[in-house]
Chain A
Amino acid sequence: MGESDLDQALVERVQNGDKRAFDLLVRKYQHKLVSVISRYINDWSECQDVAQETFIRAYRAIGSFRGDAQFYTWVYKIAINTAKNHLVSQGRRPPTDDIAAEDAVQFEGATRLHDSATPERELMRQEIERTVFDTVEQLPEELKIAITLREVDGLSYEEIAETMNCPIGTVRSRIFRAREAIDEKLRPLLSEES
């Protein structure tokens, strides 16, 4: 099961009435969607409201989600429409130049419609990134390679096992330990964040 298969499995659970599965989808994509919406809406509080509204709309419409597109692409479109509707309802003109869902979250190559980050938020973002990269740098070599092959290169456990010449169970354990090490450093930052 790949990442998109996991999303599809979670969507099917939601369609069968499992709200916990939707909670996981919200937590998985909340940062991405808020980031996308922040390109349209400057005010941080409004931005979070629109993100909430996006997830509510997605939940109400999820029965009609057929899986033709990836879940993120689908919810991304809802986010853009919700943001534009919000701007129109406020008497503001929405921007006409949209960006593709795949490009919207990338740092490089993406045209930023707005940059709503306040200095505090920008500082927070930079601190999170620095914490992640610094922690990865300090990891033992086999953990660093495993997490990099997984998250940066997008290899499956089987491919990583072949590359690192070790059992799949070892790969799974190494990736988990790397994540735990990063999470330990990240937790204080994200719990302070509000």
Chain B
Amino acid sequence: MNEQIHEQLSALMDGELERDQTRFLLKRMTSGSELPLRWARYHVTRQALRRQHLQPVSVHFADAVMARLEHEPAASSSSRGSHSWLRWGAGGAIAASVAVAALTLTRPVVEEPIAANNARGMTQIASIRTAPAAATSATTQSSANVFQTPLLAPNAPVETAPASFGTDLVEPAVADPRLQSYLVRHYQATGTAGSSSFVPYVLLAAPQRETPVQPVGQNR
């Protein structure tokens, strides 16, 4: 029986003992028993074999420590929990502060051009479009920050604009002719396959390249 316990102790120090056996063994390891002393000697052996500096201490050293701890209240991890909550709370507060500061600082820079663009775009579209009266008036009265629905109003003539906020509606960016060519081929291919395509919208949205009119007779 003792040999079996000692073998378990040997396995325990290698971290190779099952959990239930560990529990059982720890219950047997009271301060008065021989097991804690053996445990300490096994570790002296380990330290020597690993060539770690060894400073042999009194066999009563651990007993003296445990005697001093006798009147100490049992350790608990409750403080551990509250500390971790405090840490998480503090971390969250800092993250929230940074987020608020970032929003406050970047808001005027980001939102104003967008709002201005929206308002300008709406006004421009409204001015060049003949839409139902109710819709048009709603557009012109719109505030800069609110997206108005009149553009989607039924019966309104379809008109397209570049999707990006940063570009001026009046001056569209010049498209790559190779992209145009690819889109046309894609449209034709999907059209023959009977599936829908995004190309019609894109084609309408893409700017028409104006080919310069050469004066007659210049080639000559």
- Which residues of A pack against B, CB within 8 Å? 1-3, 5-6, 9, 12-24, 26-28, 30-32, 34-35, 38, 48, 51-52, 55-56, 59-60, 62-66, 104-108, 110, 117, 121, 124-125, 128-129, 132-133, 136, 147-148, 150-152, 156-157, 172-173, 175-176, 179-180, 182-183, 186-187, 190-191, 193-194
**Given A15-B77, A32-B52, A157–B14 Cβ distance below 8 Å?**
yes
- The reply to whether B52 and A52 form a contact with Cβ atoms under 8 Å apart is no
A19 to B68, CA, bound (A): 12
User: Which 7 residue pairs of A and B lie closest in terms of their CB atoms, listed nearest first?
Assistant: A17-B74, A35-B55, A15-B77, A27-B40, A132-B48, A176-B10, A105-B52
- The reply to whether B51 and A52 form a contact with Cβ atoms under 8 Å apart is no
- The reply to whether A6 and B15 form a contact with Cβ atoms under 8 Å apart is yes
- The reply to whether A51 and B57 form a contact with Cβ atoms under 8 Å apart is yes
Task: Specify the chain A residue showing the minimal Cβ separation from B84.
Answer: A66
The one of A56, A129, A187 in contact with B54, judged by C-beta atoms closer than 8 angstroms, is A129
Query: What's the interface size class on B, roughly?
Result: 35 or more
A residues less than 8 Å from B83 (CB atoms):
64
- The reply to whether A13 and B66 form a contact with Cβ atoms under 8 Å apart is no
- The reply to whether B42 and A151 form a contact with Cβ atoms under 8 Å apart is no
A176 to B10, CA, bound (A): 6
Task: Determine how close the nearest CB of chain A comes to the CB of B29; give it in whole angstroms.
Answer: 6
Chain A CB within 8 A of B41 CB: yes
The one of B31, B41, B49, B59 in contact with A136, judged by C-beta atoms closer than 8 angstroms, is B49
B residues less than 8 Å from A172 (CB atoms):
7, 10-11, 16
The one of B26, B58, B61, B80 in contact with A13, judged by C-beta atoms closer than 8 angstroms, is B26
Task: Determine how close the nearest CB of chain A comes to the CB of B181; give it in whole angstroms.
Answer: 60
A107 to B19, CA, bound (A): 34
